[in-house]
Amino acid sequence: MTTEFRIDVEKALGKTEVRAHFRKAMDTLMTNRRHQFPDDAALQALRHQAQAIRANALSKLPELLEQLETNLTKNGIQVHWAETTDEANQIVLGIMQKHNAKSIIKGKSMVSEEMGLNHFLEERGIEALESDLGEFIIQLDGETPSHIIMPAIHKSKEQISQLFHDKFPDIPYTDDVDELTASARRILRDKFYAAPVGLSGVNFAVAETGTLCLVENEGNGRMSTTIPPVHIAVTGIEKVVEKLSDIPPLLSILPRSATGQPITTYFNMISGPRKADEKDGPTEVHLVLLDNGRSTIYSDPELLATLRCIRCGACINHCPVYVRIGGHSYGTVYPGPIGTILEPQKEGLKVHGELIQASSLCGACGEVCPVRIPIPDIINRLRYDSVRKDTEHTNTRDAGSKRKPLEAAIWQGWAWSAARPSVYNLGGNIATQLRGLVPNKVGAWTRVRSAPKLADKTLHQQLKALGVDHE
């Protein structure tokens, strides 16, 4: 059966220019990252530290979330809990309606993508405008992000120039990046002043102090969170850390892993609305904490590591699959290796179960992950969950749904013969069996490769003939 995913993959693989563009972009990101970590021992030490900070936070997640709520409330930040994306959207809508707000300006937020917030608000007559340059570009073109930190990475300079020219005919055509950026800035500047509400994501939420941390490069995050009278932050419940002292190591490893920058241009620490003696800042600050399947992931000690993610995108940048098929082929909010483990857990194996097959388990992702998420091991575990029979022993959504009688029978037959040396050695030609694994796809092997040739005599036979001891 040719699935929707494989059709998208074929389409993406056919676009050689886009592929070359992705390759170049990912090469740059990988090189930049490598230059940031010249000392491997220091990198490994920092990865262990970052892992420990995130693991510690997750080990006390319920308590820390309570503490976070208490301290945020103390700081004057209003906390809202959303179990589903629909609830989160309704909360944002409710705040907007209270202020009779007809537009919202957004800093970059993947959780808002997860919520489908722009679409939700637009359906209700509210304009949602992206202010991150990459997000601004793809919004103009009606697209979704193809990368979690570089949403418009799939677009070339020429495509963006043409897009600006089509959408803003008053602005003279240019393919000068600085001029394009300046145009976007001018357009957005007025929007910042006019918007009654600003929205942002959150990189880290500090329980100890009730502080929301925001990492960004363009200043649009600061504008979105300080100019409009109301600021709404949205984030997943896993983003909490225990202490303020947890932040420096995470802030050190995040941008270096992501874009290969030593530090981002802006780092915002939001600790409350404008106080009586302050001249700027929003008068109201809200935080929406979204679950959307995270509690289920949290309930499994092995899968829990998924939630350590700090959304740097290093796994994506280093993935040999992502670099060839691009972000949109995944058909998910989060693409690449992190999407491969997160999306099937969040949305279920029935919808996104095929993604866990889109990995050669090469391990490049796990090797660079700044919080040492064992991504290949989690893919392996999800493959198990997708075909296991004892589904009562896992909370993974749609467990067992990918178990196919024929495939299961083939593996059982394989195990039966490989567990019996006499059968295996006599006639049990494993290659022949595996060849029958998925008959219509075996043709795929020989579409680009010659068929493997079986040896005349097996190693068993040859070593026996050579008199090599067998016990």
Partner 1 sequence: MSQTTRPDTIYFFGTCLIDLIYPQAGVSAVQLLQREGIKVIYPQAQTCCGQPAWNSGYRDEARKVARTQIKLFPKNIPIVIPSGSCAGMMKTHYPALFKGEADEAEALNVANRVYELTEFLVDVLQVDLTDLGELVEVAVHTSCSARREMGVADKIEQLLGQLAQVQVKEQAYKAECCGFGGTFAIKQPEISAAMVADKTMHIRATGATQLISQDCGCLLNISGAFAYQAEHEGKTAPKAQHIAEFLWERTQASSQEMKP
Question: Interface residues for partner 1 in 303-332 (CB under 8 A)?
Answer: 320-321, 324-325
Q: Does 408 bind partner 1 (CB under 8 A)?
A: yes
What tokens appear for 144 in the block?
């979704």
Choose, by CB under 8 A, the member of 40, 125, 405, 450 that binds partner 1: 450
* Residue with Cβ nearer partner 1 (45 or 444): 444
Q: Pick the closest to residue 202 from 215, 191, 183 (CA basis).
A: 215
Q: Does 418 bind partner 1 (CB under 8 A)?
A: yes
Q: Pick the closest to residue 230 from 263, 278, 195 (CA basis).
A: 195
Q: Does 42 bind partner 1 (CB under 8 A)?
A: no
Q: One symbol per residue from 360 to 389: x for binding partner 1 (CB under 8 A), - otherwise; what is it?
A: xxxxx-xx---------x--x-xxxxxxx-
* Residue with Cβ nearer partner 1 (59 or 461): 461
Site for partner 1 in 141-170 (CB under 8 A): none
Q: Does 405 bind partner 1 (CB under 8 A)?
A: no
Distance in angstroms (rounded) separating the CA atoms of residues 404 and 42 = 46
Positive or negative: CA dihedral 379, 45, 53, 200: negative
Distance in angstroms (rounded) separating the CA atoms of residues 273 and 75 = 8
Compute the least distance from the CB of residue 261 to partner 1, in Å: 23
| 3-class state of residue 2 by DSSP | coil
Q: Does 470 bind partner 1 (CB under 8 A)?
A: yes
Compute the least distance from the CB of residue 347 to partner 1, in Å: 19
Candidates 37-45, 212-220, 255-263, 439-447 — which segment interacts with partner 1 by CB under 8 A? 439-447
Q: Does 350 bind partner 1 (CB under 8 A)?
A: no
Compute the least distance from the CB of residue 293 to partner 1, in Å: 21
Distance in angstroms (rounded) separating the CA atoms of residues 435 and 258 = 41
Distance in angstroms (rounded) separating the CA atoms of residues 342 and 332 = 10
DSSP lists the bridge partners of residue 211 as 206
Q: Are 344 and 356 in contact (CB under 8 A)?
A: yes
At 295, give phi and psi (nearest 5°): -65, -35
Q: Does 93 bind partner 1 (CB under 8 A)?
A: no
Q: Are 292 and 344 in contact (CB under 8 A)?
A: no
Q: Pick the closest to residue 398 from 356, 337, 361 (CA basis).
A: 356
DSSP lists the bridge partners of residue 236 as 290
Compute the least distance from the CB of residue 294 to partner 1, in Å: 23
Q: Does 441 bind partner 1 (CB under 8 A)?
A: yes
Compute the least distance from the CB of residue 260 to partner 1, in Å: 17
Q: Pick the closest to residue 384 from 405, 362, 353 (CA basis).
A: 353
Compute the least distance from the CB of residue 348 to partner 1, in Å: 16
Q: Are 402 and 349 in contact (CB under 8 A)?
A: yes
Site for partner 1 in 3-22 (CB under 8 A): 6, 9-10, 13
Candidates 61-69, 132-140, 191-199, 447-455 — which segment interacts with partner 1 by CB under 8 A? 447-455
| 3-class state of residue 212 by DSSP | strand
Q: Does 434 bind partner 1 (CB under 8 A)?
A: yes
Q: Does 431 bind partner 1 (CB under 8 A)?
A: yes
Residue 106 parent element (H or E) = strand 103-106
* Residue with Cβ nearer partner 1 (192 or 424): 424
The number of residues that bind partner 1 (CB under 8 A) is 71
At 103, give phi and psi (nearest 5°): -150, 160
Q: Does 269 bind partner 1 (CB under 8 A)?
A: no
* Residue with Cβ nearer partner 1 (269 or 406): 406
Candidates 85-93, 172-180, 271-279, 429-437 — which segment interacts with partner 1 by CB under 8 A? 429-437
DSSP string over 53-64: HHHHHHHTHHHH
Q: Does 457 bind partner 1 (CB under 8 A)?
A: yes
